Amino acid sequence: MQTNQDYYRTVGLRSTILWWVVVFFVFIFILRLFYVQVVRNSYYVEEAKASQVTKLTIFPERGNIYAVDNLGEEIVPFVLNETVYTVFADPYEVKNALEVRNVVNEIAAGEIVETGFDLLDDKKLRYAVLARQVSRPQAEMIAKKELAGVGLQKGSRRVYPEGILASQLLGFVDNEGIGKYGLEGYMDKELGGVPGRLETVTDVRRIPLTIGDDNVSQPALDGSDVVLSIDRSVQFKAERLLREGLERSKATKGSILVMNPSNGRILAMANYPTYDPAKYTEVDDYAVFQNKTVAYPYENGSVMKTLTMGAGLDSGAVTVNSTFADGTGCYKMEEWPKAICNVEDDPKKAAATMLDVLRYSLNTGVIYVLRQMGGGTINDQARNTLYSYFHDKYRYGQLTGVEQDGELAGTIIKPTDQEGSSIRYANMTFGQGMDNTMIQTASAFSMIINGGTYYKPTLVRGTYQQGQVIEKMPEVVASSVIRADISEQIRDLIWQGRKTGFFGKNDPEGFKVGGKTGTSQVIDPKTGRYSDDNSIGTYLGFGGSNSPEYVIMVRVDDAKVPGYAGTSAAGPIFNDMSNWLLRYLNVLPSAG
């Protein structure tokens, strides 16, 4: 039988044990608090911030793109911005995924991203895009629903006040805000600006609540507003005349380029077929996005004879008074079984002049110029001299640096290469055996007629700041590329060649308009040989009064009209554009 003493001893022992148990757990609790609040303090503080503080990207305003009009007197918008929103969700905070899906689908008419809805049940994710390109009224309707875990991110999309005008040189901006093709692609960083950053406490809808010490705010840097050298009226006229000319010649596609030879500024740059940059997602053939004046190297044909003649005159191989025996109209090279002949039934002359070479487009004439570079034969000296002009001075095989995404350098074979044979260099004198872009040829041509200064071709006149155009200076790549007196001589030959030729009757009196046709065969991909079935017609020329005011280059592919495409298809487009420009630019006829 348990005595009172034993009872009290037992109770005291239990109490002592209980007390130590309590002390032990209190100690463990205190130790845990110490671990959490002291040892792991920084970790849990960051975890708390992460659950309360949201990192938001502040998107910059993309720079607008303007052009000039009325000879630079007016500034007109080509590309502007319209505010739109991206609807996104934090799946971890979403309470009712079905409601979110129904509301967004009902209101948003933008690009619904179905995969975003499929992610709403994944609580490990913190960001899922539900809809893009949502208008402001639509965004306000969604915001009023106060959907838990759903937020709106402000952005912008491009709008085009001039519609499809200049679409290929402008390019477009995709759904990710990245510039593609044309100017948008080339100047994506300058136009796009620099995103900002905001870290702040938000509610479940990711709406900022307060501005506290832990908030971080770094403002966005908006993109630059750019003013193009493109003249709206010139661009509009060029596109219209190109389209009409292609229809007239039943051609499939073509391009036109207008530039100022005195500073390298491009006044118009157009291609057909074209597209609507506001509906770029509806385009099936992505090739239509390319600006073919810079991204389509091809054999320019006989327009290159003007540049070969410039090289011959400047190198001293020939003079404007040089003559050669055209003979049969063909030139036979020992290492090549087939003779190179003139393409036209020109009047054979015992002593053809350098003017005759351009006026009658004599292949034998420019081969004669090449031979004279080598002392009478197409030797290493002749090929090296021509290459030094074409590559080093005219800059073929090199990018011009014009502000266009996707520019290609073309191909010019070195005389030291296995393929750099005499027959190739003979063909190069009249525009075959090498691939050039229109921007390369127009820039080199501008140099040989402007006194010898090679200007970097440019589409950008400057930036637009606070209602003022901050113009950039023309960039001189090289000066005195050819002598000024030689430039005057070649310009006069090109003018006389046109004046006394087929197109001379189209030019008004008192103006100097010079130009050269070119028709090049296209290599058939099936046979690997030149085909007579398809051809590319080119016309390259200038116009003005006492000095050249503009250079125009026209390319027409696959014309279906009789005659050589350079004459029958490209030439008439040049004529119409040239006569219009003389009036638009207010060029006064010369007194003499």
The answer to whether residues 181 and 296 belong to one domain is no
Q: Could you give the CA distance from residue 520 to residue 511 in angstroms, rounded to a whole number?
A: 29
The answer to whether residues 395 and 543 belong to one domain is yes
Identify whether 213 is part of a domain.
yes
The answer to whether residues 160 and 126 belong to one domain is yes
Question: In this structure, is the dihedral angle defined by the CA atoms of residues 500, 502, 507 and 513, taken in order, positive or negative?
Answer: negative
The pLDDT, as a whole number, for residue 491 is 98
396 token code pair: 């073929």
Identify whether 97 is part of a domain.
yes
The answer to whether residues 334 and 210 belong to one domain is no
Half-sphere exposure of 12 (CA within 13 A, CB side): 6
Choose the final residue of a domain: 170, 189, 224: 224
Distances in Å between the Cα of 355 and the Cα atoms of 16, 347, 348, 389, 500 are: 124, 13, 14, 21, 10
SS3 494: helix
The pLDDT, as a whole number, for residue 37 is 66
Instruction: Please tell me the total count of domains within the chain.
Output: 2
Q: What is the CATH number of the domain that holds 400?
A: 3.40.710.10
Choose the final residue of a domain: 184, 206, 224: 224
Identify whether 442 is part of a domain.
yes
Q: What is the CATH number of the domain that holds 95?
A: 3.90.1310.10
Half-sphere exposure of 330 (CA within 13 A, CB side): 9
Choose the final residue of a domain: 208, 224, 240: 224
Confidence (pTM):
0.85
The answer to whether residues 205 and 238 belong to one domain is no
Identify whether 179 is part of a domain.
yes
The answer to whether residues 145 and 252 belong to one domain is no
Please give the sequence-ordered ranges of beta strands (E in DSSP) within 106-252, or none if there are none: 111-112, 128-134, 150-159, 172-173, 179-180, 196-201, 216-218, 226-231
Ranges under pLDDT 50 in the chain: 211, 213
Identify whether 10 is part of a domain.
no
The answer to whether residues 110 and 211 belong to one domain is yes
The answer to whether residues 251 and 207 belong to one domain is no
The answer to whether residues 147 and 286 belong to one domain is no
The pLDDT, as a whole number, for residue 123 is 81
Identify whether 25 is part of a domain.
no
The pLDDT, as a whole number, for residue 34 is 65
401 token code pair: 């640096």
- 3-class secondary structure per residue, 397-418: CCCCCCCCECCCCCECCCCCCC
Identify whether 202 is part of a domain.
yes
Q: Which domain holds residue 364?
A: 230-584
Q: Mind giving me the DSSP string for 91-113?
A: TTT-S-HHHHHHHHHHH--SEE-
The answer to whether residues 382 and 457 belong to one domain is yes
The answer to whether residues 320 and 372 belong to one domain is yes
Environment class of 183 (CB within 10 Å of its CB; exposed 0-12, middle 13-18, buried 19+): buried
The answer to whether residues 256 and 297 belong to one domain is yes
The pLDDT, as a whole number, for residue 16 is 79
